[in-house]
Structures are given as C-alpha cells and as structure tokens.
C-alpha cells in the first residue's frame, strides 16, 4: 500500500483552520541565502520569508555559528531566575535603538506574546481595558490580541478581555477617504479618531496600537505624518501609543529603522518579533521604564529570551547593522517598487501598489473597478511558484500579493523575481490585462 502523503497526514491530525498555501502545498527541506528547496528537489527564490522568518536570509554563517556555539555549551535554556548574559546584551542594544527614553525590554517567544504584554502594560498603567486599534489591523491570535485584530478572517474569537474601538487610518485604498490628498486624508482620520473617542469610549482609553504598515492587512501604507497627527489627539487624553513593528522593524522599510519613525513619533512602547530571530522564536516589548515597571509580577512566559534565541537575535542584529541592510532595503526597494508600478501600467487587474523598501503589496481587483480579485491573487501565486518564486498574499479580501524578500537580497535576484512576476501576470486571462 502506498504511504500516505504528508498533506493527508497533516489534514488528519492538525486543525482545519491551519491554512496552507498552494493547491499542492510545499514542504521546504533545505535553504541557503535567499533560496529554498522543496522535498521534490525544486528550488525557489523566496520573496516571502523576509518578514515571516528569515529577515536576513538563510544559513548565514555569522548567525549559525553563534547559535551552534551556544548549543555546544549545553545551555539551551536556564531558569529565568538566573542571569542570562545574551539577554541583557540584546536588551541594552534594543533599548538604545528604540529611541524611547529610559527604555526597558521584555523578551517573549512571538509577536502575539509581545503584543499581549504591551496590552497588559498599557491597561494596567492606565487602569482601563479600553483600547483603540486600526481597522484592518493584525496583532496576533491570543485572547487579547485577537480582540484588537480588525480583520474578520483572522478573528478566531470575539469574546475579548479588552473593549476595542476601531479607527480609520491604516487601509486607505478602501476607506471612505481613499481619493483625498495626503493632508486631507490625515485630517479625516484625526476627525474620525476624535469622533470615536467621544462617541464610543468613556475617554479613559489605555492605548492606541497601530502597525506603521499593516502586514497581514495587505501592506496597507498610510501617508507619513498620520500617526504624529493622531498622537496629538491621544496626548490630550493621556492615551499611550504602541507601535507594532513585528513586520516593519529592523530597517526593512528602507527609510527608517522602525516604521513609526517615518511619522516622527516616539511611541510609549514598541513591539517586535519574527525578523529579529532570523528563524528563531523571539519577540519582545521595549517601553518607557515607568510603563514597563508598572507590573508587579512576572509576565507571560519562562521561555522568552532564552540563551539560544537571544544569541541568534544578537548575531542577526549585528549582521544587519554591520552590513547596513537598511540601505540595501532602500536601494533595492526603490527598484522593486518601480518594477511593480511598471507592471501596474500593463495590467488592469492591479489596482494598487504600495509599501516601503523591501515590503511591497500589490492589490488585485476586477478590471474597471475596485472589486477584490482573490482568485487572480491565487493564480499569480501558483504561476510564480511554478516559475520558481515564492510570494505571499493577504489583505482583508485575500487579494493582495505580498513581497518581502530577505534583506540580503541582491540586484540580480531582484531582477529574476521581477521577470518571473511579469511572466506570471502574462499568464492571467486576457480580460485581466
């Protein structure tokens, strides 16, 4: 009898709601640089893992060697009741890089846990469980973070421990203010924020949490300056500002190290994850010391900031700073966006191109209007895969292609990816051209 395929075994023992990409899902068994190889021996250029896991690239000796050396000590983890040197070193570096005055850092295993911690801090500090979030947001899938995720497809539960009100700002393309100028858009969002504060809250709101560029929400990118204008209103109420930098941190946006810096805002707390570990599980919160210290008992988990993940994170941070990968993100990002805008000229199915640096979103619509075209997004994904390129999709309607290559991307690899994308679009039905 033939052995069951991995996909059949997966379906049998794993939850139905664990989504998989592709009609015939991929199992990656080897990776190097910006390339991954599947179980059938096919190699792909990876234009998605840059945010999800491997921010910098696969199998980088400086990072692998540092982690291997830590493994060789035999100390994979110790009790959090002992000192962990790499954790302290990493916290010092992140506190300084954050730009937050008197900053302190707490490490977690994931972005979800980072945001859960930030919510715990803000709600305790302000003694209020009222939270503002942006429509179309994604902040994780634990109990409180699901409650502030403004995207039906990702909200596994509506029974939230926080009382959330959603405001406009993140997803401009489908907002009522889509056609406004930048200045008018910002003014409209500020007016909406005021209205929400006055009509749906008691005023004693703990915080506003925002992604500078909405990741799962389809790389929706607000105009620079939006959050500074919103912050002015928040300050009138004493409401804290939390920047969720799980996708936008570490220089990926090219112009700034943190996404929120494009808005000239220093947040009260900033959360990070994914990219910093370059594949290892790490996340965390950096916050004003007074805010961090408002808790009176240990938070969350005894695994966060273990010696292995903090060693890997420290090596990743050193690498991305030593090689100025932010500059690479800016330079290649400009070429990536130019290439995508050129595609938009050729294909009516492309309704919007957005993002910053090595974070580019392409929203697909039914030509002639703005109706979402998720089937076309899936088709492009399949064609690109066949041609040797992995990309992501997302957005409220599943109709946004997401490109986020590792930050060590080379110009040649970028041209290869743009060539494959052009071919993938050329294969769409003629009505989409």
CB of 246 or CB of 377, closer to ligand PMP: 246
CB of 211 or CB of 352, closer to ligand PMP: 211
Q: Is 76 exposed, middle or buried (0-12, 13-18, 19+ CB in 10 A)?
A: exposed
CB of 108 to ligand PMP, least distance (A): 9
CB of 52 to ligand PMP, least distance (A): 7
Q: Which residue minimizes CB distance to ligand PMP?
A: 111
- Report which of 119, 110, 333, 137 is spatially closest to residue 216, judged by C-alpha positions: 137
Residue 109 has phi, psi (to 5 degrees) of: -100, -10
CB of 115 to ligand PMP, least distance (A): 6
SS3 266: coil
Contact 314, 93 (CB under 8 A): yes
Question: Which residues are near ligand PMP by CB under 6 A?
Answer: 110-112, 115, 138-140, 211, 215-216, 244, 246-247, 273-274, 283
How far apart, in whole angstroms, are the C-alpha atoms of residue 106 and residue 115?
11
SS3 394: strand
CB of 140 to ligand PMP, least distance (A): 4
Beta strands (DSSP E) in 125-274 are 130-134, 163-167, 207-210, 240-244, 269-272
CB of 87 or CB of 115, closer to ligand PMP: 115
CB of 139 or CB of 231, closer to ligand PMP: 139
- Which pair of tokens denotes residue 246? 């799980």
- Report which of 93, 134, 89, 102 is spatially closest to residue 266, judged by C-alpha positions: 102
CB of 305 to ligand PMP, least distance (A): 14
CB of 111 or CB of 222, closer to ligand PMP: 111
CB of 357 to ligand PMP, least distance (A): 16
CB of 282 or CB of 329, closer to ligand PMP: 282
Q: How far is CA 428 from CA 156, 216, 242, in A?
A: 33, 24, 41
């Amino acid at each position: 009898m033939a052995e069951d395929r991995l996909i059949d075994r997966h379906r049998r023992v794993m939850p139905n709601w664990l989504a998989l990409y592709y009609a015939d899902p991929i199992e990656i068994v080897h990776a190097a640089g910006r390339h991954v190889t599947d179980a059938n021996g096919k190699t792909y250029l990876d234009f998605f893992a840059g945010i999800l896991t491997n921010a910098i690239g696969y199998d980088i000796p400086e990072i692998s060697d540092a982690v291997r050396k830590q493994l060789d000590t035999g100390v994979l983890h110790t009790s959090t009741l002992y000192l962990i040197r790499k954790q302290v070193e990493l916290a010092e570096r992140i506190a300084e890089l954050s730009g937050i005055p008197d900053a302190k850092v707490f490490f977690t295993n994931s972005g979800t846990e980072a945001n859960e911690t930030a919510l715990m801090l803000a709600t305790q500090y302000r003694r209020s469980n009222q939270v503002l979030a942006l429509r179309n947001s994604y902040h994780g899938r634990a109990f409180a973070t699901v409650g502030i995720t403004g995207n039906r497809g990702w909200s596994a539960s509506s029974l939230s421990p926080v009382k959330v009100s959603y405001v406009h700002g993140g997803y401009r393309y489908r907002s009522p203010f889509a056609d406004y100028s930048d200045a008018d858009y910002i003014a409209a969002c500020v007016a909406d924020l005021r209205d929400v504060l006055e009509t749906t809250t008691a005023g004693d709101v703990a915080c506003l949490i925002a992604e500078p560029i909405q990741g799962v929400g389809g790389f929706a990118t607000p105009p620079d300056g939006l959050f500074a204008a919103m912050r002015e209103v928040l300050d009138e109420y004493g409401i804290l500002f939390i920047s969720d930098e799980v996708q936008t941190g570490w220089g990926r946006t090219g112009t700034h190290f943190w996404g929120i810096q494009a808005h000239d805002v220093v947040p009260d707390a900033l959360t990070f994850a994914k990219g910093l570990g370059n594949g290892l599980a790490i996340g965390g919160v950096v916050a004003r010391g007074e805010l961090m210290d408002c808790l009176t008992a240990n938070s969350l988990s005894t695994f966060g900031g273990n010696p292995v993940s903090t060693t890997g994170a420290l090596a990743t941070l050193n690498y991305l700073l030593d090689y100025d990968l932010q500059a690479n993100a800016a330079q290649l990002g400009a070429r990536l966006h130019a290439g995508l805008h050129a595609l938009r000229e050729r294909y009516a199915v492309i309704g919007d191109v957005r993002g910053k640096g090595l974070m580019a979103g392409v929203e697909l619509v039914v030509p002639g209007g703005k109706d979402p075209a998720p089937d076309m997004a899936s088709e492009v994904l399949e064609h690109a895969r066949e041609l040797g390129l992995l990309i992501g999709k997302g957005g409220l309607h599943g109709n946004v292609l997401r490109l986020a290559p590792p930050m060590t991307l080379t110009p040649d690899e970028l041209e290869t990816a743009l060539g494959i994308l052009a071919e993938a679009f050329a294969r769409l039905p003629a009505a989409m051209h």
